[in-house]
Amino acid sequence: MLYRNAWEQLETWRTGNTAARKHGRHTKALMITGARQVGKTTLVREFGSRHYKRLAELNFLTDPVAATVFDGALDADSVTANLTAYLKTTLPPGETLVLLDEIQECPRARTAIKFLVEDGRFDYVETGSLLGVRTKEVPSYPVGFEESFRMYPLTFAEYCLANGVPESTLTMLREHFDTATPVSDAIHNTMQRLFMSYIVVGGMPEIVQRYVDTHDIAQVVDLQHNLLDLYRIDITKYADKTDMPKIRAIFDAVPAQLDDRNRRFVLADLGKTARQNRYASSFLWLADAGVTLPCYNVTAPTVPLQANRKYSLFKLFLADTGLLCASSMENVQFAILNGQIDINMGAIAENVVAQELAANGFALHYFHTKRLGEVDFVVQTGNAVLPIEVKSGRDWTQHTALDNVMAVHEWNLDRALVLCNGNLSQDGNVTYLPLYMTMFIKPQQQPASMPFEIDLSALR
């Protein structure tokens, strides 16, 4: 199985449940969301086989009859009796992981989670590919009994491991990132070529595995087209019939909109009568389905960025850059594999950076005004804002908009990043990073605990 960073999330969740049982608290179910085919089910199956005596799996998409387990009463005894009867096997308490796969197909199962978790007999993992687009169908949510995280396509670091790059190499590269020192030309050039292949292949697990097994880009592209067709089928199947044509139009327009000079999504290009208020739910549908990554403009690069967000101005990236290459640009793969991403391919470079930043935990924003220009990304890490410029050509030291934004003293921007084809270097408060080092840009983590006690002795 391909290594996934999400494995650590599962380990943390299981450890938390073990501690909860020890202290007499209720456990929590784990909800894993993400686009179709990002590897949710495969990950949980492998985790279950390693850590539990029994894995009980219900897939509500491939077997609609599985939903009958949740017909009738939703108390734990009734559901457990139905579950064991359906699976025709006993489930040992404390040693069973129940996987409720594609749970959006069975809203009553989502409601039952509260009672099943309170019962405490088994651990429960739910996966959902289109949960965000079917929220209205759930009678009651298990608030307080469920934790969640979102899975993305393989990151570049995961892609490196899949292709046989030693962990020690990634550790070494991380040390260079931390110390802002260049790597050797041989390593830099090799990592550049590997990153170009990542842009073409993308991070969808089945497609990555096919590339690792065959190194045949033609097979990769065929699988990518199949997956794009699956997404279009999902739009037809799950979208509201009145919204479906708009959602399909937006999905098909993303490559062309990104190829435009300003990258912003322009509704007028979809039709003369297109208006933001009429299309808002369609954009949200694609984002909730995990298919696209919206990147919103902010009025100022100051914390909190979300408070400065302008919902009417945004870029729309595809969640997987390999799918972007397959959907938009004929025969572009050969040029990219040979390092030619500077020829009208700035959109591809921005998309792969957006994909990496989102997977690393950042909310995506950019900054643009007529007076100062446009900075490709601004992200928040802790109480600081970090401007990021993406340069796919050879002129990566030319960044007028970034210089303009950094010069605004009241914004207190003390450092910036330029992601480019060059080796790592430093010039004042601007760090130049190879594009492949985007994998190391991560938000500041919240501390595991924040004890705070007030001395009340003066009130006694």
Beta-strand pair 416-420/384-390: parallel
Query: What number is the average pLDDT over the span 189-196?
Result: 97
Mean pLDDT value across the chain:
91
Q: Alpha carbon of 50 to those of 89, 94, 97, 456: distances in Å?
A: 19, 14, 11, 49
Site of tokens 């909860």:
20
- CA dist 345 and 262 (Å) reads 13
What's the distance, CA 128 to chain centroid?
14
Query: What number is the average pLDDT over the span 29-53?
Result: 96
Give the model confidence (pLDDT) of 86-100 as tens digits.
999 999 999 999 999
Q: Alpha carbon of 246 to those of 217, 230, 268, 414: distances in Å?
A: 32, 17, 13, 42
Q: Do residues 438 and 357 make contact, with C-beta atoms less than 8 angstroms apart? A: yes
Exposed e or buried b for every residue in 222-257, given b needs 16+ CB within 10 A? ebbeebbeebeebbeebbeeebbebbbbbbebbbeb
Find out whether the peptide bond into 139 is cis, omega within 30 degrees of 0: no
- Record the tokens describing residue 113, joined without a space: 């989670």
- CA dist 260 and 268 (Å) reads 13
Q: Do residues 339 and 352 make contact, with C-beta atoms less than 8 angstroms apart? A: no
Residue partners of 430: CB distance under 8 A and separation at least 6 = 399, 402, 406, 415, 416, 417, 418
All structural domains of the chain, each given as residue ranges with its CATH number in brackets, are: 6-150 (3.40.50.300), 156-440 (no CATH)
- Record the tokens describing residue 174, joined without a space: 């991380």
Reported pTM: 0.92
Query: What number is the average pLDDT over the span 312-320?
Result: 92
What pLDDT, on a 0 to 100 scale, did the predictor assign at position 129? 84
Strand order in the sheet with 309-318: 309-318, 292-298, 365-369, 373-375
Task: Give the pLDDT band of residue 140 (cuts 50, 70, 90).
Answer: low
